Amino acid sequence: MIWLDTLVQGILLGGLYALFAAGLSLVFGIMRLVNLAHGDLIVFAAFLILVTVNLLGLNPFLSALLAAPLMFATGWALQRLVLNRVLGKDILPPLLITFGLSVALQNGMLEVFSADSQRIRAGALESASVDLGPVTVGTLPLLTFGSAVLAIFLLNRLFYSTALGRAFRATSDDPVTASLMGINPRGVFAIATGLAMVIVTLAALYLGMRANFDPSIGPARLIYAFEAVIIGGLGSLWGTLAGGAIIGIAQTVGAQINPEWQILAGHIAFLVVLLIRPRGLFPRAVD
């Protein structure tokens, strides 16, 4: 029974990692850009939600609803003002810029919020649980996983059955030809990054309610996100969910054996999957 419990906890934890990863995957899929500040942006969004909770006394979910448009605007402006200028054949400039942004964000948050760890208080939800027959699971992890599934479902719908999604795919295929169709690739990129930041807000909400966070934890969230994307296969959002679940399971199983092994077990699972399937479980992108 304990193993079934561990498995279920792992899968639910994977939902959080999938939320970390979905925005990264979206941006990479559309503009072949790896945003090294992705994890720090998650932490930034968590602070934004925290501040709204503390200042306005709102509940975390409403705060996230307020933070989401702000984060969209942040992503949109980041793309318009900075990233669009460095996108090109050479992949190094965007990496350097986003690495710089990551360092700047961490230091800025340290300055403003100090190094103290914080938590978004969720009241009774923190300890609530649901009885699912053989296992009992926390309501919060269940909500996290449900949100991840819903977010990925909606993103897929957006991608494959709306005009915006069509423009995303066309621009990803060939930005020059897309521009001949009246699409402004830079505008499309800005919307995509804005959208990624909305998912980042959702990830930040659950990250902040689940555990303590401080300005320094962004890079590790980026690593989990990155591993989930790679395990799932570039370009497949459902693959990203599977990737998140695999890391989650590996971590909870590792922790079950020896608490010190939790993080390491996730990385080992990543390496094992890469050894067996170098292109991930569900590769879609051909390049």
Partner 1 sequence: MQPNPDTPLLETRGLTAAYGQFKALFGIDLHIHPGECVAIIGANGAGKTTLMRAITGVLRNDPGMVLHRSTPIGALSPDQVMQRGIAMVPEGRKLFPSLSVEENLLIGGQVRRGSGHWSLDAIYRLFPILRERRHSPGTALSGGQQQMVAIGRALMSNPELLLCDEISLGLAPVVIRDIYAALPAIRDTGAAVVLVEQDIARALSVADRIYCLMEGRVTLTAPSAEVTRAAIHAAYFGEAA
Residues at the contact surface with partner 1, assessed by CB under 8 A: 163, 166-167, 169-170, 172-174, 176-184
Q: Which is nearer to partner 1, 131 or 173 (CB)?
A: 173
Minimum CB separation of residue 69 from partner 1 in Å reads 25
Minimum CB separation of residue 261 from partner 1 in Å reads 41
Minimum CB separation of residue 2 from partner 1 in Å reads 45
Tell me phi and psi for residue 116, to 5 degrees: -60, 140
Minimum CB separation of residue 3 from partner 1 in Å reads 41
Minimum CB separation of residue 93 from partner 1 in Å reads 19
Q: Which is nearer to partner 1, 182 or 259 (CB)?
A: 182
CA distance 16 to 208: 11
Minimum CB separation of residue 77 from partner 1 in Å reads 20
Give the residue carrying structure tokens 């169709």. Answer: 181
Q: Which is nearer to partner 1, 56 or 164 (CB)?
A: 164
Q: Which is nearer to partner 1, 1 or 180 (CB)?
A: 180
Q: Which is nearer to partner 1, 124 or 176 (CB)?
A: 176
Cα 108 to chain centroid distance, Å, stands at: 21
Q: Which is nearer to partner 1, 107 or 162 (CB)?
A: 162
Minimum CB separation of residue 89 from partner 1 in Å reads 14
**Is residue 165 packed enough to be buried (19+ CB in 10 Å), middle (13-18) or exposed (0-12)?**
middle
Q: Which is nearer to partner 1, 160 or 260 (CB)?
A: 160
**Is residue 136 packed enough to be buried (19+ CB in 10 Å), middle (13-18) or exposed (0-12)?**
exposed
